[in-house]
Amino acid sequence: MPEPTPSPGADPACDAGRYLALCSRDARFDGQFFTGVTSTGIYCRPVCAVRTPRREHCRFFTLAAQAESAGFRPCLRCRPEVAPQALAWSVQDARSILAQQALRLLDAPQAWNGPEGLGVARLAQQLGVSDRHLRRVFEAALGVSPLRYLQTRRLLMAKHLLTDTRLPVTQVALASGFGSVRRFNAAFAAHYGLSPSQLRRTGAPGAQEGLCGSIRLGYRPPLDVAALLAFFAQRQFTGVECSDPQSGTLRRTVRLQAGPALLSGWVQARFDPARCQVLLQASESLAPALAQVIARVRAMLDLDADPAAIESVLGAHFPGRAGLRVPGAFDGFELAVRAVLGQQITVAAARTLGQRLVEHFGEPIATPWPELQRLFPAPAVLARAEGEALGQLGIVRQRQAAIVALARAVDGGQLALHPGADVAATTAALRQLPGIGDWTAQYIALRALRWPDAFPAGDVALHKALGVQGQPQPARAATALAEAWRPWRGYAVLRAWAGGGTEPAALSKQ
């Protein structure tokens, strides 16, 4: 049984607040901390429905990896793996920023592949520091090593799949990043004290529908489901995506790389606001890459956002819009093409061009729904597209060149468009491509790279919403106003767009 020693970075005042949140089962704090109970050796989410433990039996941890490193096992009832991730974006010292960047890379499922995953040496190389320095900074900031953090993420993903799906244990081991079943079984037994098959028998009821089941994904309220799904519905391509704000459901066809294999299939996400959860279903063809699917859906629906932190900065400027999220993308390349098509035209016109692109270059696919029967064109296909073929779809020459150059860069591996990518380097690389300026690069950073401080300063609709469209340099005026909204300028953009052209409260007084 773990001893009641202080948690990493323990703060009595902060812990008192955490205990109050635990007593009230406040979903706004879900994933922000975990509670280790010394009398049981279990750690739980703040929303756990079990009887609240006594204060002297509680230890509080910011990360699940910290709780597991201290000897606690995850609760089988509240399931810590379902909780949203805690994302820290506040500008701090260089060491904190380095630790945050390392977390972004380690949270990307691409880091989990193979028996050793990303590895500290490769991680340090990507961040431009020595592996020794990275370990020192990471452990000082978070209380665990990078490898321990990565191991916990893999184990919790495996627990997630064991509970919510019917995947064989071998597939669960590979999908969660373990190089072999033997290594997976050994790690599972060492950390959780039982085998994977025992967990499946003793845990919560498993999947009832299909091999991939119905996978639960938690989020922190408030979340304006209708507004989020309406955003997708206004931009959806027939055959590829179907967003229904009324039923709280989003379906779409998908393609993704899983090691050497290129997989295609479909996903369905259905919101359950009463439980602050999304129920995710995926086609069996995506089973080998379920960890990637889960991460991409979380990013697409912005399920890891922290509304309280965002509202503390933006609430006075944009009142009444705390539930708005930044719609992401399942596939960064698709989003980038959409951004190029949307340059200087209306949403409806961009949707028309995208629909033609899908019908001409997209591949057919079978799904359970007749309205979903096409994949968005792959980078390799558009990389070979002729200007004449694109021109016949109504795409002007400048955007033809941008789409082909973008497709070639992604297909050739020179450009990666996912949340773990380096934002500064990626946006700089995007601006080097023909036909892609700062507006497009910032829009891609906002939705595909999930950079919350992205700011498309040249956006005309944004100028109108902020009341700066009549000024000599509206982009500069908008940027100056947005300084007060860091590090959440991207969320401010969504709130301004949602205002229907009215000025934010704080700006109307300036």
Residues known to be catalytic: 44, 459
Q: 42: which 2 tokens?
A: 């279990």
Neighbours of 262 (CB within 10 A): 11
Are 365 and 435 a contacting pair, CB within 8 Å?
no
Which letter does DSSP use for residue 33 in this model? Answer: B
DSSP assignment string, 120-189? HHHHHHHHTS-HHHHHHHHHHHHSS-HHHHHHHHHHHHHHHHHHH----HHHHHHHTT-S-HHHHHHHHH
Are 214 and 279 a contacting pair, CB within 8 Å?
yes
CA nearest neighbour of 31 among 101, 89, 78: 78
Sequence-distant (≥ 6) Cβ neighbours of residue 17 within 8 angstroms? none
**SS3 for 471?**
coil
Which letter does DSSP use for residue 1 in this model? Answer: -
Q: 20: which 2 tokens?
A: 């109050």
- Round to whole Å and give the CA distance between 420 and 146: 15
- Round to whole Å and give the CA distance between 19 and 22: 5
Backbone angles phi, psi at 358, to 5 degrees: -65, -45
- Round to whole Å and give the CA distance between 114 and 108: 14
Q: 442: which 2 tokens?
A: 């910032």
Neighbours of 161 (CB within 10 A): 29
- Round to whole Å and give the CA distance between 177 and 131: 22
